[in-house]
A and B are shown apart, each in its own frame.
Chain A
Amino acid sequence: MAKVAMTVNGRKVSKECEDRTLLVHFLRDTLSLTGTHVGCDTSQCGACVVHMDGKAVKSCSMLAAQAAGSDILTIEGLAANGELHPVQAAFKANHGLQCGFCTPGMVMTAVDMINRYGAKLDEQTVRENLEGNICRCTGYHNIVKAILAAAEEMGAAGRQAAE
């Protein structure tokens, strides 16, 4: 057993877990943050994407112990004061989700993508950057639309803030 401490969604946590516990199971089973999902065993599907110190990572591909001391943001921590994050709102407005299972990973990947590219995103770039996230319901059509819409809105909001 190992004692692992980290910050998750702004809260400091410190919990015992088996040494072999993956970060995704630490989040789901130990912290009851079940929004982060497991869709495959080979770090292909991206349902488990969270942010570690501001960057998207697949939480099925690392031990909880490797995340010790880091700052983790999960899907549960994205909306502020019950208001959907612009990416979440864009997924809803553009019907970018159906069964909802891949959605947390898609949203966290999209936020990371927009953080990296800003409003410069185009369709081809979005599609290439979604390579590590699999959706079986939407055919990606509306996910791509949602990410482009969110990028545009966040870019516009960023420009307004700067002015």
Chain B
Amino acid sequence: MGVEGIGARVARKEDKRFLMGQGKYTDDMFVPGMRYAAFVRSPHAHAKIRSIDTSAAEEMPGVIGVLNGKQMLDDGIGNLICGWMIHSKDGSPMKMGAWRPLAHDTVRYVGDAVAVVVADTMGEARDGAEAVVVDYDVLPAVTDAVKALGTGQPQLHPEAPGNLIYDWEIGDGAATDAAIAAAAHVTEMKIVNNRLAPNPMEPRAALGIYDSAEDHYTCYTTSQNPHVARLVMSAFYNVAPENKLRVIAPDVGGGFGSKIYIYPEEIVCLWASKRTGVPVKWTSDRTEAFLTDAHGRDHVSTVKMAFDANNRVTALKVDTIANFGAYMSLFSSAVPTYLYATLLSGQYNFPAIHANVRAVYTNTVAVDAYRGAGRPEATYLLERTMETAARELGVSPAELRRINFIRSFPHQTPVIMNYDAGDYEASLEAAMAAADWAGFPARKAEAAGRGMKRGIGMSCYIEACGIAPSAAVGSLGAGVGLWESAEVRVNAVGTVEVLTGSHSHGQGHETTFAQLVADRFGVPLDSVSIVHGDTDKVQMGMGTYGSRSGAVGMSAVVKALDKVEAKAKKIAAHLMEADESDIVIENGALKVAGTDKSVPWFQMALAAYTAHNLPSGMEPGLKEGAFYDPANFTFPAGCYIAEVEIDPETGKTKIVQFVAADDFGNIINPMIVEGQVHGGIAQGIGQALLEGVHYDPETGQLLTASYMDYTMPRADDLPSFQVSHQVTPCPNNPLGIKGCGEAGAIGSPPALMNAITDAIGNNDLTMPATPQKVWAAARAATN
């Protein structure tokens, strides 16, 4: 692997600028003439807009424009869309209500934008927004998805009677019901997956710049996928044709899914720039982020898991209600369907599965993919149920899982997915050894001596990553293909630029993608630059989410490197009068195998560009592009173990140890992969112990709209983590990579909840397991 190649623990190339305060995030952009936007947002969860009076705001100091939704409609700006069509089980298409970038008729959640004020300073824009008078006719609101499906509830969209977006199913209902009827034991649970706010530390921002001479727009934005943003803003929102719209996602401070989507604010900034004739920048504050960034999770499910007399699962039946909020966000429809129900087989050989999913409108902000996206919900449901079943059956949790593990591959599940490779036992054993599972009873007894309740819990997760084969997702309703592109440019002096459609917002692509080049050509890592995040520089790309940049983005780079290597060898063979099949690349030189003849890499590159002596008919230059469309999803899997100690006096949970054993296939940079796991686990622990979005059920006011109310995991809430890797290479991509970005957030919540319920002896506990809830549950168990 060399010191900089594949598998090397290389420190990151991008770190220096971040460490010196030289990162360039969207809010760091200042352009001549730039003004500031502030949004007027609905204070009501549901209301008709009677009128908007902007006259006072227009007279405020510094205000240069106050714009509203009617003007936007007049200018032909389109509705926001959801890009994945789901059909209900009756064959009808999902019921999508209109989502205007600026509401002009009805507001449907607290924070819904109704007008924008553009002013000389941020303070003046906010003062202006305060002075806009909106007359609302307040309507009843509903925030709970189960309640919203009931009769007599407020109706959000005329397109969706009963607030039902779709009623979808997957699997064999009859076979599942028959197996449950014949089962030796059935474990039944109600599972609530709590609603979360993604909270990347950089709030969203957008800078719209309209050039009237060229009729051209530039948009700086906090996006995980700038090309998709340009496509959607062109094709659906009618902002500008693609060739007249440049989207740049510069340094982006975390995303976790919430920056995939195209939000009203970037559309409004572009449009407002043309309307006002000045560049317009908007930067979200944290409360605005809580109010308007797409949330995650928010499922309520019932589950039945059926067993035969040998403790083998014979069927799984799931019914899920998913809260979608007030509008259908870009990929929202895919999350509780193809990213959730297709993973309900877990690591297990289940003969029959049936899942029914209802998606529901409520008067809350939109819900879409958040780190893991559907797969954490599936894993939490399965692994809490598996643990509960083990307790009911009197089998050890490890044994029950072992009995049901899939052990031969490929494995076709009853819910679409075809697992290509894995060794679930290996991760289970590695995790149990690292956690000293066998020594737990002694530790529990010791803790009991101190008056503490100690518990241990595990979770065996699987996820589908590397999204996704374009034809397959197209057949399931996706509006886009999910390939990735790359271009490799070798300059005349031998330095290399890689242009990728993947987007790095913390993942370290500037290092790991460069490692592929260093590994292949033996050139120094410093001579390789990664270019991403700008639609004017990079060919079309699909961006970064779903742990796809390694499995899909890097595979595209590998394809382009293959082409570069083939041409480089042809040139070198010609220069050395050798057969191209004898050329090998080693340590930055092209050599004739078995001889002392060699040409340095830079000299070959120079020859490609001088073109004085190339093989007959060869084009000058050395630049190759590739599009890579994956053949299958990838299937990272692993086992997580949490051990906790609970103080029965306070209900406070202390995580004594946390172990992760993951199989991500081959690994490019273990340091970066471990970092991804750490961060994912922290978010999973946050979900299990601390985090939860709360709306007032009557008024629809967001009660958790700041870091004073929404509990983010802090350093003293968390332990250090023990992380290890087991490797079964993915057979379906050239690097054997599976992906690692979401595993931590997927595997950790059930491990922790299994540990806490083990400690207190009460299984009736929902996330987040706050001290108050744990204290009450522990007391209920002893009384």
Contacts and interface: CB of A to CB of B under 8 A. Distances in A.
Interface of A: 18, 20, 25, 28-29, 32-42, 44-45, 47, 74-76, 78-79, 84, 88, 91-93, 95, 97-104, 107, 123-124, 126-128, 130-131, 133-145
Interface in B278-318: 283, 285-287
A18 B381 CA distance: 53
A40 B506 contact: no
A103 B721 contact: no
Contact of B506 (A32, A79, A100, A139): A100
A153 to B, nearest CB: 15
Given A97-B15, A127-B716, A141 B21 contact: no
Contacts of A40: 285-286, 706-707
A140 B685 CA distance: 13
B721 A141 contact: yes
A95 B671 contact: yes
Contacts of B675: 95, 98, 137-138, 141-142
Contacts of A36: 21
Contact of B682 (A76, A133, A140): A140
Contact of A41 (B252, B287, B506): B287
B33 to A, nearest CB: 15
A98 B508 contact: yes
Given A135-B201, A139-B679, A141-B720, A35 B20 contact: yes
Contact of B715 (A79, A93, A143): A143
Contacts of B251: 99-100
A19 B721 CA distance: 47
B23 interface: yes
B529 interface: no
Contact of A20 (B123, B252, B256, B718): B123
Across the A-B interface, the 6 shortest Cβ-Cβ residue pairs: A35-B21, A101-B253, A100-B18, A139-B682, A99-B506, A75-B21
A62 B251 CA distance: 27
- Most chain B C-beta atoms within 10 Å of own C-beta, residue among A34, A40, A98, A126: A98
Contact of A97 (B18, B505, B678): B18
Interface of B is mostly: loop
Interface string B674-703: 110011111100000000000000000000
Contact of A88 (B11, B19, B203, B256): B19
B201 A33 contact: no
B30 A88 contact: no
Interface of A is mostly: loop
A100 B253 contact: yes
Contact of B16 (A20, A92, A101): A92
A114 to B, nearest CB: 15
26 contacts: A34-B25, A35-B21, A35-B22, A38-B283, A39-B201, A40-B707, A42-B706, A44-B706, A75-B20, A76-B21, A92-B11, A92-B16, A95-B675, A97-B18, A99-B200, A99-B251, A99-B506, A100-B19, A102-B253, A136-B254, A139-B678, A139-B681, A140-B714, A141-B678, A141-B718, A144-B715
B254 A98 contact: yes
Contacts of A79: 19-20
Contact of B285 (A34, A41, A84, A143): A41
A139 B507 CA distance: 14
B672 interface: yes
B691 to A, nearest CB: 11
Contact of A134 (B23, B285, B712): B712
A148 to B, nearest CB: 11
Contact of B202 (A93, A101, A107): A101
B199 interface: yes
Contact of A37 (B202, B287, B672, B721): B202
Given A44-B708, A95-B12, A34 B28 contact: yes
Nearest to B20: A79
Nearest to B715: A130
B187 interface: no
A38 B204 CA distance: 11
A41 B126 CA distance: 14
Contact of A139 (B11, B199, B721): B721
**Band of interface residues on B:** 35 or more
A64 B202 CA distance: 22
B770 interface: no
Contact of B12 (A92, A128, A137): A92
Nearest to A142: B675
Contacts of A47: 201
Nearest to A88: B19
B121 interface: yes
B20 A137 contact: no
Given A99-B201, A99-B506, A136-B712, 15 more contacts: A20-B123, A25-B122, A34-B28, A35-B21, A37-B202, A37-B253, A42-B286, A44-B707, A47-B201, A91-B15, A100-B14, A100-B253, A104-B21, A138-B678, A139-B721
Interface in B1-51: 11-12, 14-25, 27-28, 30
A123 B718 CA distance: 11
A47 B707 CA distance: 13
A56 to B, nearest CB: 15
A92 B675 CA distance: 12
A32 B34 CA distance: 14
Contacts of B507: 98
A138 B679 contact: yes
A95 B15 CA distance: 9
- Most chain A C-beta atoms within 10 Å of own C-beta, residue among B30, B506, B713, B714: B714
Contacts of A123: 720
Contacts of B202: 37, 39, 99, 101
Interface string B31-74: 00000000000000000000000000000000000000000000
- Most chain B C-beta atoms within 10 Å of own C-beta, residue among A32, A74, A78, A134: A134
A41 B705 CA distance: 10
A136 B11 CA distance: 20
A153 B205 CA distance: 38
B679 A136 contact: yes
A84 B19 contact: yes
A131 to B, nearest CB: 6
B686 to A, nearest CB: 9
A80 B712 CA distance: 34
A37 B374 CA distance: 32
Interface in B503-539: 505-508
Nearest to B28: A34
B678 A128 contact: no
Contact of B123 (A18, A37, A44, A145): A18
